[in-house]
Structure 1
Amino acid sequence: MPPILILLTFLLTLGAGGEEIIGGHEVKPHSRPYMTFIRYVDANGTRKRCGGFLVKDNFVLTAAHCLGSSMKVTLGAHNIKAKEDTQQIIPVAKAIPHPDYNPVDWSNDIMLLKLEMRAKRTNAVRPLRLPKANAQLKPGYVCRLPGWGRKSLHAPKGTDLLQEAELSVQDDQKCKHLFRHYIKTKQICADDPKEKQAAFKGDSGGPLVCDNRAYGVLAYGKTKSIAPGIFTKVVSFLPWIRSSMKSF
């Protein structure tokens, strides 16, 4: 039997480092070529990490609470601790958090990172498509959440290898009941209905991938309990994403 992928969620504060995948199944190396590993330094001088995903050769999409200094992205990685030939490490030239991001209620938790140079497209590095305008997900739709994270609750650090969970989109009313700040027009919540999968502190900014498109950006969840993860709804921010990439 394949290992069960467990994710837990913590409420996040600005720069907390995000959600992190706990346990679970390893994906085929470089089968998620859009995945991006982000390193940065927060306001307290602490080294942090987030997930993200390539949306254009020189732009990465992630969560706004992952903003920091000395930002670098690693593309084409499967093992983030190894010096793989497929990896491209590129500094961030400019971070573009959404201007209405609110760290108190996590609304508009989305950010673009413009890279200092364009990524070279390879079998291991390739952008993820964004959803079509007005695209919606119905409750019960199964999506994927890839990321680098702990393999057990007691592990001292995240796994070196890319993992993935399968999450089911939840009804907006359920999410509003669990999360008083939940905004259905701007957010999606998804979890495992069997409550074996959710999200945990560590790799925010990773994509909720449905039909090979990025429908969400992992933002936050509930304190120390198995509960849905909350994703910023990408389709609601398409005009901002496109205008920002054009402007910068």
Structure 2
Amino acid sequence: MAYFASKKKVASKNFSVFLKIVLLISIFLQKSSGSPTRKRVASLFRVVNGHYAQADSFPSTVAFLKPDKSFVCTGNLISSIYALTAGHCFVLSTLKWIIAGDISLIETDSKTRQTREIVGSVVHPYFSNVEYSYDLAIATVNDPFLFTVSVQKITLCENPPAVDLVCTNAGWGATKLTSRPTPSPYLMFHYVKIIDHYDCRKKFFEPDLICTFSKKSVAYKGDSGGPLICKGKLCGVLSAYQQDYEKINLFANVARSYKWITTNGTQGRSSRMFPGHISTIMWILFYQVLIQKT
């Protein structure tokens, strides 16, 4: 028995080494590939050369914070208890708090500010931290936000925005392109134009993306998860920008994931309930019934 146990340990160790080698080769190929998607910078962005937002002008835009209350990402209220942001925000950071109703991150005595604790989250099942496809996540808070003039939910787009349509993007991201970017203390916004969807897919090989362009401004670190608002509706969630294409921002397409968002974020279901969990529960119930009958 000891001999076989030793063989199992050796086999397990060899398999672990094999997996590490495969992973290293995969990373090397990704870095050496000429594909535009491999060159994309993982976002945590900001609005550079943007405009300062006025109070109550973006009532559905919220800030995601770490346990120490430091800012990480921008997000969007889609109901009183659910907020939509970028999937990589949860993958790359530990998020604990959501602030709504305030355009300032530093003026903590604001009478319109509401702070809630994050008690659950779910990342889109098709999210890829390599390609940043389906870069979406939904957070659940401990107590419902109270809707006021300063705090409101936003309606979701059921269809992608039209090409050349001018939309708005907002966030607390850094306002200067530096090696150590810091968040903007105040909410910023800028206007962007929708790029042809076919050209967007051709350049970035991801069908769920919406590409936007602006001559003077671009989102940057801290703006991740921020809204693409077109005609008053949330049509995109900021995912990334492309190094090779100046001032182009990439947004997760809300319309393409509309069913997933509404199922997990607006219908009162628990954000911790995955489809796989539901299947498992069904099988357990079926098995219990079968045992009782036998």
Q: Normalising by structure 2, what TM-score?
A: 0.71
Q: Secondary structure at the match of 1:239?
A: helix
Q: Which ranges of structure 1 fall in alignment gaps of 5 or more residues?
A: 1-9
Give how far 1:150 is off. 2.8
What does residue 126 of structure 1 align with? 152
Q: Secondary structure at the match of 2:259?
A: helix
Is 1:61 aligned with 2:84? yes
Q: Normalising by structure 1, what TM-score?
A: 0.84
Name the CA distance, whole Å, in 2 between partners of 1:102 and 1:109: 7
C-alpha change, 1:136 and 1:94, in structure 2 (3 Å) is same
Matched AA of 1:170: I
Q: Secondary structure at the match of 2:78?
A: strand
Name the CA distance, whole Å, in 2 between partners of 1:39 and 1:52: 11
Could you tell me whether the CA contact under 8 Å between 1:130 and 1:213 is conserved in 2? yes
| Higher mean C-alpha displacement, 158-167 vs 217-226 | 217-226
Name the CA distance, whole Å, in 2 between partners of 1:141 and 1:226: 19
Name the CA distance, whole Å, in 1 between partners of 2:177 and 2:89: 22
Give how far 1:208 is off. 0.1
C-alpha change, 1:31 and 1:227, in structure 2 (3 Å) is closer
Give how far 1:25 is off. 1.2
Give how far 1:202 is off. 2.2
Could you tell me whether the CA contact under 8 Å between 2:200 and 2:211 is conserved in 1? yes
C-alpha change, 1:176 and 1:142, in structure 2 (3 Å) is same
Q: Which ranges of structure 2 fall in alignment gaps of 5 or more residues?
A: 1-38, 271-294
Name the CA distance, whole Å, in 2 between partners of 1:35 and 1:19: 15
Q: Which has the higher contact order (CA 8 A, sep 6+)?
A: 1
Residue correspondences, number: 225
Give how far 1:111 is off. 0.7
Q: Which has the higher strand share?
A: 1
Trace 1:120-159 onto structure 2 (pairs within 5 A).
Answer: 120-131=146-157, 133=158, 135-154=159-178, 156-159=181-184
Larger Rg: 2
| Higher mean C-alpha displacement, 207-216 vs 145-154 | 145-154
Q: Which has the higher helix share?
A: 2
Could you tell me whether the CA contact under 8 Å between 2:101 and 2:150 is conserved in 1? yes
Name the CA distance, whole Å, in 1 between partners of 2:190 and 2:200: 19
Give how far 1:221 is off. 1.3
Is 1:73 aligned with 2:98? yes
Trace 1:82-231 onto structure 2 (pairs within 5 A).
Answer: 82-83=107-108, 84-131=110-157, 133=158, 135-154=159-178, 156-179=181-204, 181-183=205-207, 186-192=208-214, 195-223=215-243, 226-231=246-251
Give how far 1:113 is off. 0.5
